[in-house]
Chain A
């Protein structure tokens, strides 16, 4: 126990660097995936049939594929297309490609939950397309989509750990390095698990707060 603590104190700066990288990867990955999800969702709603079919095919493919296979695929296949991806770029690309269909589905379901009559009413009182989206659809849809999106965000945060396999220097990668120097794999990995647990639980609590804030209108009525 005492030795374990000593390891974490001695390699504290490295662990903090790794943690910062994990947080950064999570944020960037989530933003890219969300942006890609909006594009996917727009494409799925397009009037052009081949595009819709393509989105459906892509979604089915990703839903059936383990993220690790996608990661290996991108990392090993990209060079044979002449694409020299850095490990971080391959990691972000994997997170984006994997999580965007799930996020697109959450967004689609949330938008579909807004009664069409509200949009029509907005149009009737002279709201333009943008005003309807901004004032009526999005505030409600965001609150509906949030629980699913939070679940996906936490999943994405946890999946950044596998990026250590392709040597992205995040928390798990640093842990591997520390283990190779201290020869205390069990204790160090267990300690790092605790670090992940504290951070992810904090993330979840913060997101639940945000959710309560976004749904405050529901309580105000009832």
Chain B
């Protein structure tokens, strides 16, 4: 039933596809952080209009399936003249989706900064932008590091959706191999191990990152 040679055969292609999964995770993670920081800033200091746009963004992202968002972005890019950009579409869709969750995490962290610090910064004459850049954001990032890395794990677990637009990441590679060899059990065992291993790497990485920043915070 479980054929060892098919299992071993699948390891090579899936491992090289893991590189695409990692690239996709990192690209989407970066977009998520950027979108999240923008949306959180708009919600806290963007006035009525900024808060409204940010709230609408978060609601839309959380209220629609990522699968549908991915297809909207994919065909939206094609509509704008960028057709066939599967990797870009997947990174954008997953990143912008996750950005809504990052925004909530960052908003919570910003709200937790004692107002006294901001008043102190104002008192010594720092500008609004400077306060944001030197006092608010660095601390918000550090205290939201654990939930943000958890969010990155969710991003990793969202990347298989890219298979829908034929990005040859791990899952799609698995689907292609099993269609050729009829080796579903063996191939999906390799793919599953791949995701669990990558999730473990992320977990370890985030723990050491947290330790490092905790020292910095004193």
> Is A124 on the interface with B (CB-CB < 8 A)?
no
B19 at the interface (CB under 8 A from A): no
A69, B195: Cβ atoms closer than 8 Å: yes
Q: Which 10 A-B pairs have the closest CB atoms?
A: A161-B65, A76-B184, A185-B75, A68-B160, A186-B75, A64-B196, A158-B65, A161-B67, A66-B157, A73-B188
B64 interface hit (Cβ, 8 Å): yes
> A86 within 8 Å of B by Cβ?
no
The answer to whether A197 touches B60, judged by C-beta atoms less than 8 angstroms apart, is yes
Given contacts A69-B174, A165-B164, A193-B69, 20 further A-B contacts (CB under 8 A): A66-B157, A66-B195, A68-B160, A68-B171, A72-B174, A76-B175, A76-B188, A77-B185, A80-B185, A158-B64, A161-B66, A161-B67, A161-B68, A185-B71, A185-B75, A185-B78, A189-B71, A190-B76, A201-B59, A204-B63
Contact A158 B66 (CB under 8 A): yes
Q: Closest B residue to A77 by CB, please name it.
A: B184
Overall SS of chain A's interface? helix
* A-to-B contact residues, CB < 8 Å: 61, 64-69, 72-73, 76-77, 79-80, 154, 158-162, 164-165, 172, 175, 185-186, 189-190, 192-193, 196-197, 200-201, 204
A196 neighbours in B (Cβ, 8 Å): 63-65, 68
B79 at the interface (CB under 8 A from A): yes
Asked if A197 and B192 make an inter-chain contact with CB atoms under 8 angstroms apart, the answer reads: no
User: Is B72 interfacial (CB-CB < 8 Å)?
Assistant: yes
Q: Which residue of B lies closest to A67 (CB)?
A: B157
* B54 CB–A CB distance under 8 Å: no
* Inter-chain contacts of A80 with B (CB < 8 A): 1, 184-185
Which residues from chain A contact B159 at a C-beta distance below 8 Å?
66
Q: Give bound CA distance, A197 to B57, whole Å.
A: 12
Residues of A within 8 A of B76 (CB): 186, 190
Expressed in whole angstroms, the Cα–Cα distance for A125 and B75 within the complex equals 65
Contacting residues, chain B, for A164 (C-beta < 8 A): 67
By beta carbon, the residue of chain B nearest A71 is: B160
With known contacts A72-B174, A72-B188, A186-B72, A172–B157 Cβ distance under 8 A: no
The answer to whether B158 has its CB under 8 Å from any CB of chain A is: yes
Contacts of B59 in A (CB 8 A): 197, 201
Count: A-B pairs, CB below 8 Å? 99
CB distance from A190 to the nearest CB of B (A): 5
| Distance in Å: Cβ of B112 to nearest Cβ of chain A | 20
> How far, in whole Å, are A185 and B71 apart by their CA atoms in the complex?
8
Judged by a CB distance under 8 angstroms, whether B206 is at the interface is: no
B144 interfacial contact with A, CB 8 Å: no
Q: Quick check: is B178 within 8 A (CB to CB) of the other chain?
A: yes
Residue numbers in A under 8 Å from B131 (CB-CB): none
B199 at interface, CB cutoff 8 A: yes
Whether B185 pairs with A64 at a CB distance below 8 angstroms is no
B29 to chain A, nearest CB (A): 15
Q: List 14 A-B contacts (CB under 8 A).
A: A64-B196, A65-B157, A65-B192, A65-B196, A68-B160, A68-B163, A73-B184, A77-B184, A175-B68, A185-B71, A189-B72, A193-B64, A197-B60, A200-B63
Q: B residues within 8 A CB of A192?
A: 68
Chain A hits for B171, CB < 8 A: 66, 68-69, 72
User: Nearest B residue to A202 by beta-carbon distance?
Assistant: B63
**C-alpha gap A65/B189 in the complex (Å):** 11
Residues on B with C-beta less than 8 A from A159 are: 65
Task: Report the Cα distance A45→B75, complex, angstroms.
Answer: 49
Which residues from chain B contact A72 at a C-beta distance below 8 Å? 171, 174-175, 188
Contact A69 B191 (CB under 8 A): yes
Closest to A190 in B: B72
* Minimum distance in angstroms from B108 CB to a CB of chain A: 15
